Amino acid sequence: MTDTLLSVRNLRVVYPGDDGDFHAVRDVSFTLGRERLGIVGESGSGKSTTGRAIMGLVAPPGRITADEMRLGDLDLTRMNEAGFRKLRGKRIAMVLQDPKYSLDPVMTVGDQIAETHRQHVNAGRKAARLAALEMLEAVQIRDPERVYGLYPHQVSGGMGQRVMIAMMLIAGPDILIADEPTSALDVTVQTQVLAIMDNLVRSRGMGLILVSHNLHLVSSFCDRVLVMYAGRVVETCAAGDLANARHPYTRGLLAALPELGHRRAELPQLQRDPAWLEGSL
């Protein structure tokens, strides 16, 4: 926790529109150490855009500005596209929601992992293949040799997501951004994929940013949680303390969740306060 991997100060993402600019992310600041940081919020809260901005993945006409965005010794605010290309995979990697869409459908999963390896490490075909097999084993795929030759449509969702994790970690990045990595999976598979990701991130001393709408998942998996609303961080707290959250938005969200063993005739509905848009922190 002492060494900071990533520090972000006043990150803003703006999309120009017909009726003026749309501020998707507004003055978001946080630091990430060797820990698991969760970002929660509802659709449109800017949680995914924050993750994408760190990767330099906001396409024009969208604009990113920040007072500071620093990855180790690198200043990301001055980075151009070529710089980001070298960075992605090598220093920061991202796992998206659905492996069906993130994997190339006409290339075997093993070759895709090997390609990532060769992109970042000066290695021959054979060495890349071995590295990919090793990585498949690390994500607990039982028969790596067989799975290496499979196409994405031949693997299950849980296995596809493990392949994605293998591909993302093969170049040894410092930070993994996981954007709803398990939302497309069944609940019993979810825990398994999270556990694999957790083990690898811990053993490699990486930082993890988990972006999710699932409050239960984030509070039980992460160390620290940022709650976002309308592009702003409204609350930061230790994951274990989420139940005692102070901000009315976080409290409203928690109350609106149906709970096993605590049946209520009616769920309290979230009353949105326009003052939240101005940021009360």
Q: Which of residues 123-152 bind another protein (CB under 8 A)?
A: 140
- Residue 74, sorted as left (phi over 0), alpha (psi -120 to 50) or beta, turns out to be beta
Strands 68-71 and 232-238: unpaired
Q: Is 219 in the site for another protein (CB under 8 A)?
A: yes
Structure tokens at 71: 């990855």
Minimum CB–partner distance for residue 12 and another protein (Å):
24
Q: Which of residues 57-96 bind another protein (CB under 8 A)?
A: none
Q: Is 221 in the site for another protein (CB under 8 A)?
A: yes
Q: Is 2 in the site for another protein (CB under 8 A)?
A: no
Q: Is the distance from CB of 104 to CB of 90 less than 8 angstroms?
A: no
Q: Using alpha carbons, select from 136, 48, 34 the residue that is nearest to residue 96.
A: 48
For residues 71 and 185, which CB has a smaller minimum distance to another protein in the complex?
185
Q: Which of 57, 213, 248, 277 binds another protein (CB under 8 A)?
A: 213
Q: Which of 198, 248, 276, 277 binds another protein (CB under 8 A)?
A: 198
- Helix, strand, coil shares, percent, the chain, to 5: 40, 25, 35
For residues 9 and 251, which CB has a smaller minimum distance to another protein in the complex?
251
Q: Is 39 in the site for another protein (CB under 8 A)?
A: no
What's the DSSP call for residue 222?
Answer: -
Q: Mapped to the 3 state alphabet, what secondary structure does 40-63 carry?
A: ECCCCCCHHHHHHHHCCCCCCCCE
Q: Which of 72, 238, 257, 273 binds another protein (CB under 8 A)?
A: 257
Q: Is 203 in the site for another protein (CB under 8 A)?
A: no
Q: Is 116 in the site for another protein (CB under 8 A)?
A: no
Q: Is 190 in the site for another protein (CB under 8 A)?
A: yes
Strands 20-32 and 6-17: antiparallel
CA–CA dist 190, 50 (Å, integer): 23
Q: Is 256 in the site for another protein (CB under 8 A)?
A: yes
Q: Which of 150, 270, 279, 280 binds another protein (CB under 8 A)?
A: 270
Minimum CB–partner distance for residue 273 and another protein (Å):
13
Q: Torsions phi, psi of 265, nearest 5?
A: -60, -40
Interacting residue ranges for another protein, rule: CB under 8 A? 42-43, 140, 186-188, 190-192, 194-196, 198, 213, 215-217, 219-221, 252-253, 256-270
